[in-house]
Amino acid sequence: MAEERKGAVTMRGNPMTLVGPELKPGQKAPAFTAVGKGLAPVTLDQFKGKVKIIAAVPSLDTPVCDAETRRFNEEAAKLPGDVQILTISMDLPFAQARWCGAAGVDKVTTMSDWRAAEFGQKYGTLIKELHLLARAVFVLDKSDNVVYAEYVKEVAEQPNFEAALQAARKAAGA
């Protein structure tokens, strides 16, 4: 049975339970498999040697997630080439692709955790009551060590973009 962290985050003020551990800087990032475009498996290993910003969001079809993902897409252009931005949600890959096309988001790689919630459980972002991912941002260095982790306390609020971007630039040696 996975660890449960009751009241770790709130959704519009209501306490929610997160399933899985709370990752902290200095830890090795857990390997995971999610679902990408065309239902192909996507693994953390596919981004080896890159600095990764992983943004977990409840759904791209909500205003806060939409704004966050657009912001990361804009920021991607200003980051060193060895920084990869990944956004993961429970949205189906088809919905993610449709959303990216409609939003003109082309620098962020979307991944879906709907099949097994493996990412959510390993990164401690799975909201037990809703079977959605909580809003969180992780920055992993080129060797997949966690160098930054933020679990956004109120799921309806934005993450600290500047802190995450600064951690990614530092990990990229920029």
Q: Sketch the domain layout of the chain as residue ranges.
A: 4-171
**Nearest-10 Cα torsion for 93, 98, 99, 101:** 120
Q: What is the reported pLDDT for 149?
A: 98
Select which of 9, 51, 65, 83 is catalytic: 65
pLDDT band at 138 (very low <50, low <70, confident <90, very high): very high
What's the one-letter identity of residue 18?
L
Q: What is the reported pLDDT for 45?
A: 96
Q: What's this model's pTM, rounded to 2 decimal places?
A: 0.96
Handedness of CA 26, 82, 155, 114 (dihedral sign): negative
In terms of CATH, what superfamily is 4-171? Glutaredoxin (3.40.30.10)
What is the average pLDDT score of the chain? 96
pLDDT at 1 over 90: no
Q: What is the reported pLDDT for 2?
A: 79
pLDDT band at 114 (very low <50, low <70, confident <90, very high): very high
65 is an active site residue: yes
